[in-house]
Amino acid sequence: MQGKVRALCQHCHKCPAGRPRGLCWGCYRNLEIRNRYPRRFVPKGIPDRFCNPPLPPYPTRAPAGSREKLAVLCIRAMLGYNLWHPDDGPPPDPSELP
Ligand SMILES: [Zn+2]
């Protein structure tokens, strides 16, 4: 005796449902029958937060390259925001760079 009880085909209710959509092999092979039953699992993939994440709610005046700006970038990344806001502080003055 088998320990595992297998669900029966949701179309013919005779054969074990060994194919997707809860169908048996015979019913699944028949496209007319298969298309009557929607897919149960629709792959959604990994949420993409890198292509077009929302803008952060506030800009920062922290100077680019500073520890403060780095902390702001970390928090934005953690919250799934775009790293850059168009009104963020200006880039550093090239004359002040080492
Ligand atoms: Zn069937």
Round the average pLDDT of the chain to a whole number and report it. Answer: 84
Å from CA of 62 to ligand 1 middle: 65
Distance 36 CA to ligand 1 centre (A): 12
Does 97 score more than 70 pLDDT? no
Mean pLDDT: which of 14-18, 37-41, 78-82, 88-92 is highest? Answer: 14-18
Q: If you write DSSP's letter for every residue of 9-61 in order, what string do you get?
A: PTTTSSSB--BGGGB-HHHHH-HHHHTTS--S-----S---SSSPPPPSS---
Is 80 exceeded by the pLDDT of residue 49?
no
The alpha carbon dihedral of 27, 31, 33, 39 has a sign of positive
Distance (Å) from CA 13 to ligand 1 centroid: 6
Task: Give the CA-trace dihedral at 76, 78, 80, 85, to 10 degrees.
Answer: 10
Question: Of 45-49, 55-59, 66-70, 81-85, which gets the smallest average pLDDT?
Answer: 45-49
Q: How far is the CA of 45 from the centre of ligand 1 (A)?
A: 30
